[in-house]
Amino acid sequence: MFPQMTRTAAQRPNRRSVLRSAAIGLGAVAAGSTLGPLSSLGPLSARAGASPTQLTGKTAVVVGSGFGGAVAALRLGQAGVQTTVLERGRRWPIQADGNTFCTVNEPDGRSAWFSNHPPINQLTRLQTIPRYPGLIDRIAGNGIDAVYGVGVGGGSLAFGAFTPQPRRKDFTQVFPSQIDYDELDRTYYPRAKKMLGTSPLPADLLADPSYKGARAWLDYIKDFGGEPVLHDFCVDWDVVREELAGRKPASYSVGEGPYGTNSGAKNSVDHNYLPSAEATGNVTILPLHEVMEIREISGQDGFEVSVKRIDESGAVLETKTLVVDYVFMAAGSFHTSALLATAKAKGSLPRLNDQVGKGFGNNGDFLIARGLLRRDCGAKQGGPGVALMYDDDNPYGPISMSWEASPFPDIAGGSMMANLIQVISDERGSIDYNPAVGRAELNYPHGEADSDVDARGRNFAGRFHERTETRFGSPATGVPIYTRLADFGSGCTWHGLGGMVMGQAASYEGQVHGYKNLFVVDGSLLPGSSALVNPALTITAVAERCLDHFVESRA
């Protein structure tokens, strides 16, 4: 069905090879094996000359391989820690035929994590697709849905490639004072940008005919009376140029990206952090390995991690238990919080505190579509974006708004645009273990009628329409659509944050309260918001900070 997914029998990992990989990743020192050479990639510590061999002999599991997990894998590997990354999804190597991923308007099993229907795009949501370990896992919550990338690379495979850095004044409004913005700005944001290869949309691409949507968005910002903030994207623009020249499959140049980028233009962490981690010789990545339970070892500081290995049909090939010194949670805000909330409820990690699972936020996201625009934006819009704008004069608090390129159907005729409004709100939900169903659930008690995020989002959508359409004599154009029934508004988030919030369930350096060798380094550590911007860069920078503190404190 999906030729690039099919392995020959010789290519399929057998039980012996997987156990051998686990042994290499977890027990090489105990077995007397010689460690591989340590990588010299990047600074190990920004503040101390910590030797990368001072943790040699220790073992770690990293649960998940997205932004935070990839940072942990690299820095642990550089420090000499024998590290195994457990990733429930598959690898997604870019195929020469341009058919690694499905597309937004033609989804198949590759789109969804073992689901009968595509997870996004209301025009295709009712289609039936084969069940497969696809790219996006949509969590159906009580009051909100949340989507997460699945595969080696985690959320970086499916995110929109937006990597803006928040402004200081917004950051300090959201984050606790113990997280020093100047330190992040001086050390960790630059390090994350360098590793991820971020940069703004180049001028030559902005001028290309495929990018009329980007130019239209800049004109709309001017109409509003705002200033465009040109920010970075996690994109290799040379590959996009190859797309436009016809030498690579059209991906970002036609608005694709949520289901992956067939040209390979997205600088997901499987292109940078993870191969660098594997190059240390101390890191093993095991795809299609799903963590089921984490247990403390009585009288010790280590853990037992129960994991099942599955095939591409979802069948369980084997289960096993790994014993390690350290566990780094990086499975995404929902799954990290769900694993730990379940462990607390079932008594396998009884010392977790009552803040586990609390503080889940949707990053203040409010998605809208604007139709029948008075400007031609192009149906297949070159992207992924260009700039955001801030409205600091908004009477209900500061707001940001960005444009997201989309591959709209041709019937849209270039008259539609998708925009993400972001607000700073205290509105929060939780991830709670429900014994009646035997699993953790996402609970968000803020309906469309009483949600602060929705109310402020709707207000600003109207404000933007009045200033960019109505006052130009065109009130019937650009009317915003934001009903949750169509996956707009705040009903479904790509940026779920919190659940293991710093200063509450964990320390400001990611150490989980109650366990000195258990850490959280993904979006669950953030306080429900990344301060009016998409969170990928901040998750990466905060994870870098956490790993520096870990290495320095344990050296």
Active site amino acids: 404, 495
Q: What secondary structure does DSSP assign to 99-139, as a single string?
A: -SS-BTTB--GGGBBS-SS-SS-TTTTT------B-SEEEE
Q: Please, are residues 451 and 493 in contact by the beta-carbon 8 Å criterion?
A: no
How far is the C-alpha of 544 from the C-alpha of 551, rounded, in Å? 11
How far is the C-alpha of 528 from the C-alpha of 538, rounded, in Å? 12
* Token output for 179: 């997280």
219-227: list long-range contacts, CB under 8 Å, 24+ apart.
Answer: 219/375, 220/375, 220/468, 221/387, 221/389, 223/467, 223/468, 223/472, 224/389, 224/391, 224/464, 224/467, 224/468, 225/467, 226/389, 226/390, 226/391, 227/389, 227/390
How far is the C-alpha of 342 from the C-alpha of 354, rounded, in Å? 12
Give the number of other CB atoms < 10 A from CB of residue 301. 12
111-to-2, 232, 254, 404 alpha-carbon distances in Å: 12, 26, 18, 19
Assign 62 to helix, strand or coil: strand
- CA 83 from chain centre, in angstroms, equals 21
